[in-house]
Amino acid sequence: MKMNKLLWIALLTGFLVVIGIYGYNNWFAKASGNEISIAKDSADALKVDIDFGVGNLLVHGNSSDWVSGDFTYNHKRLEPSVKYKKKKDVGFVTIKQGSKSTFGFNKRKLKNDWDLQLTNDVPIDLDVDMGVSKSRLKLEGLQLNSLSIDSGVSDSVIDLSGAWSKGFRADVDLGVGDVTLILPKETGVRLTVSKGLGRLDLKDFIKQNEGVYVNEAYEDADIIIDLFLDIGVGDVKFMIAE
């Protein structure tokens, strides 16, 4: 009898652990929302680090604060941390997903949506890690000093259209997934490409050297976007904005 009782306790404990790991999203989790607002101070520039793990990510400009927006997620482990500090004349923004591991999540019911707005008013060094996601980065209007994107397993749109007042360097590491890059027509663009198994459509670009391509505006442009692409597996599509 004692052995049977211990066996039942062990089975019940194991059952509860399984429920805790795999059933939490189905039975207990409900979507919650959090707003973000980082007020403007005396900073002359920003360094913004966005570390996103899984879900849907939207980043765009025209915030009336340094950063604004909202998060919607349905698991406590996904709750992001937001940090801001100013050193001398530079403001440092870090926005990081609470847990980047998807172990224990029911992925079909997982909800994690970020909508982030950045200011257009000061220069920004922007670093985005997009993880396993569907992402849209609408960066038109921002004052980019530099751009770094690490796309793990992501279907992404990276929109660099619009009129840029100064050039910048963009380092884009594309892992697995389909990516659309929207590039400006009037700004000079130079692509330096390192390609794995991905497919690349460069019909609107002129080959300058091995692995280096430029758009039509490049030759006479005063403003240049230097775009360094490291392509893994997937399709990369370039669109020239009108």
Look at residue 17 in the predicted model and tell me its pLDDT: 36
Q: How far apart are CA 37 and CA 50, in angstroms?
A: 15
| CA max distance for the chain | 89
CB atoms within 10 A of CB 140: 18
Look at residue 103 in the predicted model and tell me its pLDDT: 46
Tokens of 186: 């009037």
* 3-state secondary structure at position 46: strand
Look at residue 10 in the predicted model and tell me its pLDDT: 40
Look at residue 107 in the predicted model and tell me its pLDDT: 54
At 219, the amino acid letter reads E
Tokens of 99: 């847990």
Look at residue 125 in the predicted model and tell me its pLDDT: 98
Look at residue 159 in the predicted model and tell me its pLDDT: 97
Low-confidence ranges of the chain (pLDDT < 50): 1-32, 103, 106
Burial status of residue 185 (CB atoms within 10 A of its CB: 0-12, 13-18, 19 or more): middle
